[in-house]
Structure formats: structure tokens, C-alpha cells
């Protein structure tokens, strides 16, 4: 769990900025979104395969662009 200790004389805005940065670094929001919806095992597998295909296409495109 992310938390920040407010130093003496520190503004609330800066403490809030530090807290938001810490939450983002720990990927808390991403984890919450991931677990907020239930996906069937087959659905998860299809999404994972689609992401792998997307990564492969992106990698191949990048390699083709570098060759020229």
C-alpha cells in the first residue's frame, strides 16, 4: 500500500503529487483495473494471444523500418 509522510512545512499539493507518483510506480491502479472484471480462462487466453500477436507485429514493423 502506498503512503507518504507529510514533512513539516510541506504543502498538501506536493504531498499529493508524491503520493500519485508512488501509486503510479507501484502499478496499484493497473492491478485494481485488472481484478475489477472477471474474465473466463478461455477469454484470458485469447486476450493474451492477441497481445502477443500485437507485440510481434510491432517488433517486425520496427525491424523492417530499421533495415531501410
Residue 12 and residue 1 share a domain: yes
pLDDT interval class at 67 (50, 70, 90): low
pLDDT digits (tens, 9 = 90+) for 23-61: 999 888 888 888 899 999 999 999 999 999 999 999 999
Residue 12 and residue 27 share a domain: yes
pLDDT of residue 68: 60
Residue 2 and residue 30 share a domain: yes
pLDDT interval class at 66 (50, 70, 90): confident
Contacts of 19 (CB under 8 A, 6+ apart): 2, 3, 4
Rounded Cα distance, 65 and 6, in Å: 49
Residue 10 and residue 33 share a domain: yes
Residue 2 and residue 29 share a domain: yes
Residue 54 and residue 22 share a domain: no
Domain holding 44, by residue range, is 38-68
pTM of the model: 0.49
Residue 24 and residue 4 share a domain: yes
Amino acid at each position: 500500500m502506498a503512503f507518504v509522510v507529510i514533512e513539516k512545512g510541506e504543502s498538501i499539493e506536493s504531498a499529493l503529487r508524491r503520493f500519485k507518483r508512488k501509486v503510479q510506480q507501484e502499478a496499484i491502479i493497473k492491478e485494481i483495473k485488472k481484478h475489477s472484471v472477471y474474465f473466463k480462462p478461455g477469454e484470458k487466453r485469447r486476450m493474451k494471444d492477441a497481445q502477443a500477436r500485437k507485440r510481434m507485429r510491432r517488433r517486425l514493423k520496427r525491424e523492417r523500418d530499421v533495415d531501410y
